[in-house]
């Protein structure tokens, strides 16, 4: 508290070096100011709406470096109970695990932990049930309805901020699912172009089971925009998720590479593979898969 308050430019062009979130209300700015704003809201809610804060449920998320300072500031509110107004370095908000983005190991570790619980474990359960005789059509419905939305949610939020390695376990689980529902005579081709085919939407001949490490930056780019992504700390390796609207001759604003454009390029490459030794078979399958109700991987049901 004895140090001078940081100037307005601290933390980037928008000046949000830290932020606070309290019951759907966000405060941006200096860490101490964020805490003050949140506590004022608690006091106003008590005075005007007779709402009492539960000190056990009230937690403060911060970085490891600021935790000792905020622990001291919140000590008067604890009444001797260490569980009250706990200061944490990792917290789940709206299903997303958050932590200090400058601590990459902790930051990416928390995302992996959430993905294991929300995506990988459910996929492995579906695979086990398929092994005991469950219908592939039922497993595929459950995957699309309950599991993939969780994966897509995290891809849109963290796709530009995480290294590709973060998604490796998810891709592995989804590939195992593809292998389980895939006809036996085609399973050996999953390591090649067949996995890319399954990642396409059905209108292009696939099942819509994404290759997460490849698609995550593209889906996040569509949600964020170039300026927001840059200020949030987009990794250099994901810069290709954006391109200039005007092309090389007319440098314009940076716009996201659409996922649908990526799918169209993959589909075109698969069509061109018809020239390979297995080309005619691949071409016929790819054309057949585009038909309604032609989910080839579930044809045995």
pLDDT digits (tens, 9 = 90+) for 61-100: 888 888 898 899 999 999 889 899 999 888 887 777 778 8
**Could you tell me if 66 and 31 are in contact, meaning their C-beta atoms sit under 8 angstroms apart?**
yes
Q: Is residue 282 part of a domain?
A: no
Residues 108 and 81 placed together within one structural domain of the fold: no
In percent, how much of the chain has pLDDT > 70?
79
Q: Is residue 197 part of a domain?
A: yes
Given this model, what pLDDT does residue 16 score? 46
Residue 254 lies in domain? 99-274
Residues 41 and 189 placed together within one structural domain of the fold: no
Residues 37, 91: Cα–Cα separation, whole Å? 20
Residues 298, 301: Cα–Cα separation, whole Å? 6
Supply 12's token pair. 């980037």
Given this model, what pLDDT does residue 22 score? 56
Given this model, what pLDDT does residue 94 score? 72
Given this model, what pLDDT does residue 264 score? 93
Residues 54 and 186 placed together within one structural domain of the fold: no
Residues 55, 126: Cα–Cα separation, whole Å? 40
Residues 177 and 217 placed together within one structural domain of the fold: yes
Given this model, what pLDDT does residue 297 score? 46
Q: Is residue 13 part of a domain?
A: no
Residues 49 and 123 placed together within one structural domain of the fold: no
Query: How many separate domains does the chain show?
Result: 2
β-pair type (242-244, 254-256): antiparallel
- Domain end among 88, 111, 145: 88
**Could you tell me if 153 and 95 are in contact, meaning their C-beta atoms sit under 8 angstroms apart?**
yes
Residues 111 and 239 placed together within one structural domain of the fold: yes
Given this model, what pLDDT does residue 57 score? 86
Given this model, what pLDDT does residue 15 score? 46
The DSSP string of 37-99 is HHHHHHHHHHHHH-----TTT-EEE--TTTHHHHHHHHGGGSTT-TTTTEEESEEEETTEEEE
Q: Is residue 7 part of a domain?
A: no
pLDDT digits (tens, 9 = 90+) for 13-37: 444 445 555 555 555 567 778 888 8
Cα within 13 Å of Cα(92), Cβ side: 10
Average pLDDT, the chain: 82
Residues 122 and 208 placed together within one structural domain of the fold: yes
Q: Is residue 290 part of a domain?
A: no
Residues 216 and 239 placed together within one structural domain of the fold: yes
β-pair type (90-93, 96-99): antiparallel
Residues 177 and 234 placed together within one structural domain of the fold: yes
Residues in the chain where the model's pLDDT stays below 50: 1-2, 8-17, 249, 296-297, 299-301
pTM: 0.75
């Amino acid at each position: 508290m004895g140090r001078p308050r940081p100037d307005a430019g601290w933390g980037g062009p928008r000046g949000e070096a830290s932020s606070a979130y309290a019951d759907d209300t966000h405060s941006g700015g200096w860490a101490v100011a964020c805490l003050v704003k949140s506590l004022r809201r608690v006091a106003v809610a008590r005075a005007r709406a007779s709402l009492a804060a539960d000190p056990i449920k009230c937690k403060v998320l911060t970085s490891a470096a600021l935790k000792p300072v905020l622990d001291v500031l919140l000590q008067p509110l604890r009444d001797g109970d260490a569980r009250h107004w706990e200061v944490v370095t990792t917290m789940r908000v709206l299903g997303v695990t958050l932590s200090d983005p400058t601590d990459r190991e902790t930051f990416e570790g928390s995302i992996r932990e959430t993905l294991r619980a929300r995506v990988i474990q459910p996929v492995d359960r579906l695979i086990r049930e398929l092994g005991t005789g469950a219908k592939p059509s039922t497993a595929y419905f459950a995957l699309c309805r309950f599991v993939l939305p969780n994966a897509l949610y995290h891809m849109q939020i963290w796709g530009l901020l995480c290294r590709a390695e973060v998604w490796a376990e998810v891709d592995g689980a989804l590939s195992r699912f593809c292998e389980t529902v895939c006809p036996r005579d085609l399973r050996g081709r999953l390591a090649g172009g067949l996995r890319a085919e399954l990642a396409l939407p059905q209108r292009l001949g696939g099942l819509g089971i994404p290759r997460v490490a490849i698609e995550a930056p593209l889906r996040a780019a569509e949600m964020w925009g170039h300026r927001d992504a840059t200020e949030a700390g987009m990794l250099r390796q994901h810069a290709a998720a954006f391109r200039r609207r005007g092309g090389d001759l007319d440098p314009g604003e940076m716009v996201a590479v659409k996922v649908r454009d990526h799918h169209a390029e993959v589909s075109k490459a698969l069509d061109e593979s018809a020239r390979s030794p297995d080309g005619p078979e691949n071409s016929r399958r790819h054309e057949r898969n585009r038909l309604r109700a032609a989910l080839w991987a579930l044809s045995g049901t």
